Structure 1
Amino acid sequence: MPAGALPRFVLVYAALYAGYGLTTPFLPALLSERGLSPTQVGLVLAAGTAIRLAAGPLAGAIADRLHAGRGVLAAGSSALLVLAGHGFAGLMLAGLAHAAATAPLAPLADALALPAAAASRFAYGTVRGAGSAAFIAGTLVAGQLTGLLGLSALPVAGAAAFALLAAATLALPAGPAGPETRTARPGLAELRAFLGAPAFRRLLAVAALVIASHAVHDAFAVIRWGEAGLSPGTASLLWAEAVGAEVLVFLVVGPRLLGRLGPGGALALAAGAGILRWSVAALTVALPALAAIQALHGLTFALLHLAAMQVLARTVPPALAATAQTLYGTLGLGLATTLATLAAGPLWARLGPGAFWVMAALCAAALPLVRGVGTRTVARQDTA
């Protein structure tokens, strides 16, 4: 592995997550400004989430088959497409193209960084932390740009970040290309046993409910904050606070909570934090309350993710580890988010801020399911 791999990956992750930070938080507000109704905003966001479910694995398969991870990673500069869209149909097409182009970027970056970290002896957490910090910086810059130039400046800034990402990937060391890097597909019997395991199904349900509960916030929080008189700069600070709490839990707080509570207790805490977070969001837009509940994102997302990873590590046979991660990401996170985002628009149009009560109910429904998660194991077919 060539020397200097760490700074190259730091630049890639910084550009990637800065691009996300510049474009993601304010996209619903931009779509609303361009004339879409709440229901149409929800449809565009849900369609984008749905296309990511197919585009991510497809791009990964192409990268693996052609050993072209860097080339596929460099193909994601598409933020300007949103500016080119006009009307619901045009913005839908632009949103789909942007979602398809950016969907595989983070997984492919991880696929390149993990073996490079092992070969070059740098910590993967260093580059992922750089990405999280860049996301925070991107959201802060987005708030300032919006205040100065309007929401239309954000796709331009995002496109610049993704262009830097494309250039930075060309300097990355090539990943391994031998046949030993390809993972064989598990047999049908193994997949059936795995999918039928109570621990996996409970985990999937808990993750789906709690992650899906973020849909109304992600789609309409910035719009609601703006209508309440909060500035774009304040909105960006609130988003940055949530990501900062996520990073803190991932690096410091989460492992300690997980060790003390176990995966089931940690999942219950994440669901309980969701109930509190969305209940407060339904009741008020007072800035002190918003600042308090944004910090709960560290529990509703990061702690849940840490607990889920521990459950999968304990209950899934090594031969099915990749399948488990894919199914967790697709069904537990992606599909649930797609369906919840699709429902967010009509919910908001009908209930307004009362839609947050529905999100709190999703978290409440997850609480009874955490019992026994992590204590039962998938039947392993170990050989002597």
Structure 2
Amino acid sequence: MDTTRPWGGVLSGSFPAFVLLQGSLYAAYGTVSPFLPSFLGERGLTSGEIGIALAAGTMMRIAAGPVAGYLADRYDATRGVLGLIAAASGLIAFAYLASDGFWPMLVVSVLHAAAIAALAPLADALTLAAAEREGTFSYGWVRGAGSAAFVLGTLVSGVLIAWAGLASIIVSCGLLFLLTAVATGCVPRAPAREALPSLGFGGIRELLALAPFRRMLVVAALIIGSHALNDGFAVIRWREAGIGPGTISLLWSEAVASEVIVFVLIGPWLLARLGTASATMLAAGLGVLRWSIMATTTSVPILATIQPTHGFTFALLHLAAMHLFARVVPERLAASAQTLYGNFGLGVASAAMTAMSGLLYGAFGAGAFWFMAALCALAVVFAAHLHRAKTFA
């Protein structure tokens, strides 16, 4: 990307449309994700039934995401498939309001999970392709706007719940998903492709035959999987250490803010200077540092110092993966690559490590973070092999 290009050129291109697309999508996620379990409980589900409904949704997302990616690639219709499933996500969300009890809620949860499974990967595929094609903006700028919108959606949801109850999050997320569908229609069409991928699983086999793509899937699974213990048990550990809720909120917000900063500013700069492989190794290495410190201390000043590394262990890794995909994945398989990365490289790893984290924390307490550090150390080894791929300069 030409960083000397004036902002007028950026704003006159498709950048605003992609900010609207990613912003509305992640605002919808931020609106509903933190509060959906509470809404299900209010509608009569027990804790066990809520767990079943959420787990069933996770399994459906893992299964449905690659199917949507395949259809988008097979028919050269990424924008059309994204618009369709975004509209379906909005409409199905409203069905939560008409449902009570376990079985109706389970059905709606599974249907909604199927609809939203490929939203983020397909939005990423469109954004990444446009950023590479136009050269007027960075993918990280748009994705950073999405992260900021997620935080804003979560904050607004808290206000709405206090004013109108938990049902308000269903209304707001439904409307935001519908806005995502509208925003999809505002982004430009990609040039038509001449070649189509092979039928069946040929496209997936072709992707997995790319050594850099395979290695990045492994690296991403290891690093993102290592976050599961933090996401599930960091707050529990901090509360047990006597850290108050206000301080915990600030620590958590610091991590999210660092994510936005890396997406928009630091990450693209580092990628331009280090290259994909070295940036990936940096993300993994900082993961080793982050989890090692989490295993050894609950000192608030030290935690405040280490929380910004989240921007590197998540956002820089994601930018590096997008950078790699843009260079090694054939355009006709871009949507399939994104859904494989999102649903298998990240989704399955997160689900598996979330389940394992409970066992590890129960057995070792804070010492479980050493296992997460070991995962990132292993990721450094796999990332180092990316230097040997001829794809990278």
Q: Go from structure 1 to structure 2 and tell me whether the alpha carbon gap of 1:286 and 1:262 turns closer, same or farther (over 3 Å shift).
A: same
- Paired position in structure 2 for 1:14: 23
Alpha-carbon distance, 1:130 to partner:
3.3
Aligned pair partner of 1:281 in 288, 291, 294: 294
Measured in 2, the distance between the counterparts of 1:181 and 1:107 equals 20
Aligned pair partner of 1:202 in 215, 223, 230: 215
Measured in 1, the distance between the counterparts of 2:249 and 2:385 equals 39
- The answer on 1:161 being equivalent to 2:173 is yes
- The secondary structure found in structure 1 opposite 2:389 is coil
Aligned pair partner of 1:346 in 350, 353, 359: 359
Contact 1:271 1:366 in 2 (8 A): yes
Measured in 2, the distance between the counterparts of 1:171 and 1:368 equals 40
- The answer on 1:56 being equivalent to 2:69 is no
The AA in structure 2 aligned to 1:102 is I
- The answer on 1:100 being equivalent to 2:109 is no
Q: Go from structure 1 to structure 2 and tell me whether the alpha carbon gap of 1:278 and 1:96 turns closer, same or farther (over 3 Å shift).
A: farther
- The answer on 1:295 being equivalent to 2:304 is no
- Paired position in structure 2 for 1:136: 151
Contact 1:74 1:165 in 2 (8 A): yes
Alpha-carbon distance, 1:222 to partner:
4.6
- The answer on 1:335 being equivalent to 2:344 is no
- Paired position in structure 1 for 2:256: 243
Contact 1:45 1:341 in 2 (8 A): no
Q: Go from structure 1 to structure 2 and tell me whether the alpha carbon gap of 1:30 and 1:222 turns closer, same or farther (over 3 Å shift).
A: farther
Contact 2:40 2:50 in 1 (8 A): yes
Q: Go from structure 1 to structure 2 and tell me whether the alpha carbon gap of 1:119 and 1:178 turns closer, same or farther (over 3 Å shift).
A: closer
Deviates more, 1:245-254 or 1:19-28: 19-28
- Paired position in structure 1 for 2:88: 75
Contact 2:160 2:168 in 1 (8 A): no
- Paired position in structure 1 for 2:185: 173
Contact 2:28 2:176 in 1 (8 A): no
Q: Go from structure 1 to structure 2 and tell me whether the alpha carbon gap of 1:340 and 1:10 turns closer, same or farther (over 3 Å shift).
A: same
Contact 2:21 2:183 in 1 (8 A): no
- The secondary structure found in structure 1 opposite 2:375 is helix
Report Cα offsets for 1:173-224 as digits up to 9, x if no partner: 3778899458611488897576345444333222211111111223344555
Between Structure 1 and Structure 2, how many residues are aligned?
370
- The secondary structure found in structure 2 opposite 1:214 is helix
- The secondary structure found in structure 2 opposite 1:185 is coil
Alpha-carbon distance, 1:245 to partner:
1.3
- The secondary structure found in structure 2 opposite 1:184 is coil
- Paired position in structure 2 for 1:184: 196
Report Cα offsets for 1:103-132 as digits up to 9, x if no partner: 233344456667888999985756544322
Measured in 2, the distance between the counterparts of 1:354 and 1:29 equals 31
Gaps (5+ residues) in structure 2? 1-11
- Paired position in structure 2 for 1:382: none
Measured in 2, the distance between the counterparts of 1:115 and 1:199 equals 19
Report Cα offsets for 1:60-106 as digits up to 9, x if no partner: 5379399464332122243884996767x887666544433332333
Contact 1:142 1:236 in 2 (8 A): no
Measured in 2, the distance between the counterparts of 1:224 and 1:41 equals 24
Measured in 2, the distance between the counterparts of 1:190 and 1:27 equals 35
Measured in 2, the distance between the counterparts of 1:90 and 1:225 equals 37
Q: Go from structure 1 to structure 2 and tell me whether the alpha carbon gap of 1:48 and 1:14 turns closer, same or farther (over 3 Å shift).
A: same
Alpha-carbon distance, 1:299 to partner:
0.9
Report Cα offsets for 1:130-173 as digits up to 9, x if no partner: 32221122233456678x58xx9566325413323315634763
Gaps (5+ residues) in structure 1? 379-384
Measured in 1, the distance between the counterparts of 2:40 and 2:314 equals 25
The percentage of aligned residue pairs carrying the same residue is 47
- Paired position in structure 1 for 2:266: 253
Contact 1:19 1:158 in 2 (8 A): no
Measured in 1, the distance between the counterparts of 2:191 and 2:278 equals 41
Measured in 2, the distance between the counterparts of 1:11 and 1:315 equals 28
Measured in 1, the distance between the counterparts of 2:241 and 2:104 equals 29
- Paired position in structure 1 for 2:3: none
Q: Go from structure 1 to structure 2 and tell me whether the alpha carbon gap of 1:325 and 1:18 turns closer, same or farther (over 3 Å shift).
A: closer
Report Cα offsets for 1:208-249 as digits up to 9, x if no partner: 111111112233445555666666665554444323212221
Contact 2:130 2:190 in 1 (8 A): no
**TM-score, normalising length: structure 2:** 0.71
Q: Considering only aligned residues, what root-mean-square deviation do their CA atoms show, in Å?
A: 4.6
